[in-house]
Amino acid sequence: MAADPSPAPTSLSFPRSTFAKLTPGPFLHAHLKQNPPIRPSGRTLTQFREQQITTGSLTHSHGSAVVRLGDTTVVCSVQGEILKAADIPSPPDESADNEDLLETLGLLVPNIELSTGCSPAHLPGNPPSTLAQSLSWKVRTLLYGSEIVNPEDLQIMFTAPKIDEEDDAPVPEVKAYWTLYLDIMFISLDGNPFDAAWLAVMAALRTTRLPRASWDADREAVVCSPALEHYAHLTLHTTPVTATFAVFSTANPLKQRSEAESWVLTDPDTSEEEVCREALTVTVDGKRVLGIDKAGGRVIGMEAVEECVKLTFARWKEVSTILP
């Protein structure tokens, strides 16, 4: 048969979803090559998915939020429990640095649960995967590092009454601490778990109301007031907002480096995450950058990081207004 130089596109009329499944890389590439570049979901390169935040639906939690970021759905619950100062095995020094006190005592305990059947790749029956463990650790690092909660807000103080007139004024003592358990469970996962999880954590913390706790010297225990009007919101000192980006590149060891093209995709979904080898997460609060976390690849340089930081500041403005 004579060689046919022209391509034969009409011989391959697969539906979109089949192309996406058979050749995910070229499928995404064909979309990004367009002018202007567009993603298979119809989003632009810098567009986040639509988010929906609902709070307060869990009865047994002091604060809760359900966040939907596109098809990713996550539930965060904040439950407060009491840690008695007397029970702490190695109590920190009186003069210990306040900044590390929260972390040393371990008063914020986040855990991300992915093995809920939220996607076919995350079925129960296995211990937490590397992804789940690293996400939990990232949330923990951000919670402590951003100093969103101060130890004073979680302390339960007690001032012993003066017994004799000649005693000095009694010094208030820390008798117990509130410990906050943040349980983050994924109902559905379609990419970018960290942004969704952090958004849920923020929404849940901002709507958390703890009962008023006081030290009962007779019982040697903490007793809380049941009155609803005595419940108080947590004092939050910062509003960190995160944004995650993935980089799609056609760089190929078989081809020239200069021929490679790359695009930075904001808020990637699962199909995009699977063909991207490089990712970047930026965390900001107001005008400060709290952290930049980059993984893999060599496409993103200083310029691209600055672009992403700009986008994250814009995202901060958007999110801080809609957070409850």
Partner 1 sequence: MASTIVLPGEPLGPSATNIPGPGSHIHAGHLFSSLAGPLAKSSTSKSTPNPTLTVARPSGILIPETGTTVLGRITRTNPRLANLSILALGPSGEHTCRDSFPAIIRQQDIRATEIDKVKVAESFRVGDVVRATVISLGDERSYFCSTAKNELGVVMAVSEGGNQMVPVSWREFLDERTGARELRKVAKPV
Partner 2 sequence: MQADRRRLNAPAGGTAPPVFASANTSPPRRRRKADEHRKIFLQTGIVPSAAGSAYYELPPDPATPPLTRKSSLKITCTVHGPRPLPRNAAFSPNLLLTTHVKYAPFATKTRRGYVRDSSERDLGLHLETALRGVVIGERWPKSAADVVITVLEGEDDGPAGAHSGDMGSGWGMLSVLAGCITVASAAIVDAGIDCVDLVSGGVAALVHDQSSEITTVLDPAPAEHVTRAACLVAYLQSRDEITEMWMKGDAGGDLGGLIESAVQSATLARTVLVEAVKDSTEARVAAMSPPELPSTDAASKGRPKDVVTTG
CB of 314 to partner 2, least distance (A): 19
Stretch that binds partner 2, among 217-225, 257-265, 282-290, 313-321 (CB under 8 A): 217-225
Residue 118 tokens, joined: 């939220």
Residue 14 tokens, joined: 């697969």
Stretch that binds partner 2, among 124-132, 145-153, 165-173, 257-265 (CB under 8 A): 124-132
Using CB under 8 A as the binding rule, the residues of this chain from 36 to 55 that contact partner 2 are: 38, 40-43
CB nearer partner 1, residue 41 or residue 150: 41
Q: Does 289 bind partner 2 (CB under 8 A)?
A: no
DSSP state of 306: H
Contact between residue 119 and residue 192 where contact means Cβ atoms under 8 Å apart? no
Q: Does 118 bind partner 2 (CB under 8 A)?
A: yes
Using CB under 8 A as the binding rule, the residues of this chain from 73 to 132 that contact partner 1 are: 120
Q: Which does 188 bind (CB under 5 to 8 A by kind): partner 2, partner 1, none?
A: partner 2
Q: Where are the alpha helices (DSSP H) in the chain?
A: 16-22, 24-32, 98-105, 130-145, 151-154, 193-206, 270-275, 302-322
Q: Does 11 bind partner 1 (CB under 8 A)?
A: yes
> Residues in contact with partner 2, total (CB under 8 A)?
80
Q: Does 141 bind partner 2 (CB under 8 A)?
A: no
CB nearer partner 2, residue 7 or residue 301: 7
Contact between residue 79 and residue 225 where contact means Cβ atoms under 8 Å apart? no
Q: Of the candidates 7, 42, 89, 127, which one interacts with partner 1 according to CB under 8 A?
A: 7
Q: Of the candidates 128, 145, 291, 297, which one interacts with partner 2 according to CB under 8 A?
A: 128
Question: Angle at CA 314, nearest 5°, toward 118 and 246?
Answer: 45
Contact between residue 274 and residue 192 where contact means Cβ atoms under 8 Å apart? no
CB of 58 to partner 2, least distance (A): 6
CB of 250 to partner 1, least distance (A): 9
Q: Does 83 bind partner 2 (CB under 8 A)?
A: yes
Q: Of the candidates 233, 237, 255, 310, which one interacts with partner 1 according to CB under 8 A?
A: 255
Residue 249 tokens, joined: 């590149």
Q: How many helices (H) and strands (E) are present in the chain, helices listed first?
A: 8, 14
The C-alpha atoms of residue 236 and residue 241 are separated, in whole angstroms, by: 13
CB nearer partner 1, residue 9 or residue 226: 9
113: enclosing H helix or E strand: strand 108-113
Q: Where are the alpha helices (DSSP H) in 115-192?
A: 130-145, 151-154
Stretch that binds partner 1, among 95-103, 128-136, 241-249, 252-260 (CB under 8 A): 252-260
Question: Angle at CA 116, nearest 5°, toward 110 and 118?
Answer: 105
Interface mask toward partner 2 for 85-104; x: CB under 8 A: --xxxx--------------
54: enclosing H helix or E strand: strand 51-55
265 three-state secondary structure: strand
The C-alpha atoms of residue 285 and residue 85 are separated, in whole angstroms, by: 32
Which residues of the shown chain bind partner 1 in the complex (CB under 8 A)?
1, 3-5, 7-8, 10-15, 17-18, 20-23, 26, 120, 252, 254-255
